[in-house]
Every structure is written in C-alpha cells, then in structure tokens.
Amino acid sequence: MNARLIIVSATAVISASVAVLVLVAFANRLKPTKEENDAYKQLINGEYRIFAMPLPERIDFAGEMVPLERADIRESLDRELLVNTYWHSNTLLAIKRSYRWFPVIEPILKANDIPDDFKYLAVIESALSNATSPAGAKGFWQFLEETGRQYDLEITDQVDERYDVEKSTQAACHYLKDAFDRYGSWAMAAASYNMGMGGLQRQLGRQNQNAYWDLLLNEETARYVYRILAMKEIFNHADQYGFVMRPAELYEPLAYAVFSVDTTIGNLAVFANEQGISYKLLKWYNPWLRENYLKISQGKSYQIKIPTGKQ
C-alpha cells in the first residue's frame, strides 16, 4: 500500500471512525497485507494507524491542469483530501446521494456546455441537499435571494425555486457561463461562484494576476476549488479512500409523474390526499413549495411531481 503511516500512542483518545476504516480495509481483502495485519494488531492492542493517502500524480479541473509541481498547490489539495476523506459521515452521505442526483444534474450541465466537474461544486456547497446557510443561501446550489432572482428563479413566500434541483441547476449553469465568458477560466468561474464576480475582479486588479492558482484570496475561496478537486478524486476512487459502497445502500433516483397545474390549490394537504400520498411526501418531492397552498395567477402554471411506484 502506498501510504505514509502515522502511529498514534495508546494513551490518545481512539477515534471510532478511524478504527472502522482500518477494520473495513482489513475485512474487505481476502489476504490482508502485512501492513494491514500489523495495523489490526495495533488496533486490538489499544493503538490505531491513520493512512495519509498519496496525492494523485496529475489532476485537472474542467480540463484545466492543476500545477501540482508547486508545493503550495500540492499542500492545498492534500489538506482537502485529508479533511474530506476523514469527514466520513458527510462524504459518505454525499456519495450515496450522488447516485440519485447526478443523473439529474449531469444532463443539465451538458446541455449548457458546462464541464461535468461542476457537479462537485454542488457537492461542496450543500452535500447534495436542500441546505440553508447562515447567510441565507438555499438549495443544492446555495443561491442567495438576490442572485437567484437575477438568474430567473422565482422566490416568493409560497414558491422558492432555489429548492428546485432542475431549475436551480439551470440557474447555476447561466451564472457559470457568464463567469467563464468574463474570466476565460473554469477555475476562476468556480472561485467567483464562491466570492462573487465583483469581489474576484477587485482581487485581480489588486494583485495583477489572472489565474486562480496565483491569487491570494480569503480562506474560503482559497480552499474552494481544491475542495471540488478533492471530492472529484474521492468520488472517482472511493474504494482507495476507504469508502465501501454497496449497491443496496445507494440512494436510487426518484420515480414520479409530473402534473401541470394552472389553477390555485387552496390546500396542498387535501391535494396530496387526492393523489393518494401524504402532505409530507408531496413536500419531499416538491421542496420548492413553501406554503400549504399554491396561488396561481392567470396564464401561469407549475409542474408538480407525484411519486409513483416504490417509495
């Protein structure tokens, strides 16, 4: 195994999650290596070993090669690989969710000529969930209200399309295309997604640089593209990073029928019951519905998903 070993004293507090990784690595090979046998013995004796994974020899972001020959670049990527490898619950959940949501996101990226790597931007923004940030950004793509409206998302008391995966992905594509047209670099487009085009433009003028890898940025944006790269690497080589994915445990794509409604629904709970489902399930499939009613003005319609088959 190509890995450095860090031996931790028995007097240290033993991390159960790290212990599980060692046990999983041991259990999933018919003939464990000598290193794994030794690690297992150390674990049984009250010690454990943490494997620091080697960096990939080369990696690109959206076709742009990452200059790994530089120490600052290597160490920035190394940090995010370590953090996301050993943040087991978050990364494992994101991998499980990706089997449901990547088939939704990928075709929209492709249709808009946005590189496939940007699906990992949604992973680091929200772990593929309809999250809300302390700043009020919402949804898979974490749009703030003003930016969401700027990119044609409807945001009202009763409807918030930031929670609509398809529509918010489309809005994210429009933003990223605008950013790429401005900067000529997908890495810069990703950085601007985090700090805004205005903020990034100010740093370009201040530092007289035009490449993400050469800019001194706030910590969140400085880590941003490396976090995307780390998730790309881990998702594409999950077994090498200790994530054992059994097909039965992955989240399947949702099965549903789409109903177009063009008249007001006074009570969504009653509407749900009429469709043979619960109000909870209606909202789970349509999280963009923010109230228990849906007022629809003349000439407007909405597409509502109604689950079908196994739930």
> Quick one: which of 62, 66, 86, 88 has its CA closest to 75?
66
Q: Express each pLDDT in 32-54 by its tens digit.
A: 667 766 665 666 666 666 778 88
- The one-letter amino acid code at 190 reads A
Q: Express each pLDDT in 132-142 by its tens digit.
A: 999 999 999 99
| Cα separation values, 200 from 94, 150, 179, 183, 215, Å | 28, 19, 10, 10, 10
Which of 33 and 253 is assigned the larger pLDDT? 253
| pLDDT surpassing 50 at residue 4 | no
The pLDDT of residue 54 is 85
Average pLDDT value for the chain: 89
Grouping H, G, I as helix, E, B as strand and the rest as coil, residue 160 is strand
Q: Tokens 């999250």, residue?
A: 131
Q: Express each pLDDT in 280-291 by its tens digit.
A: 999 999 999 999
Assign 185 a pLDDT band (cuts: 50, 70, 90): very high
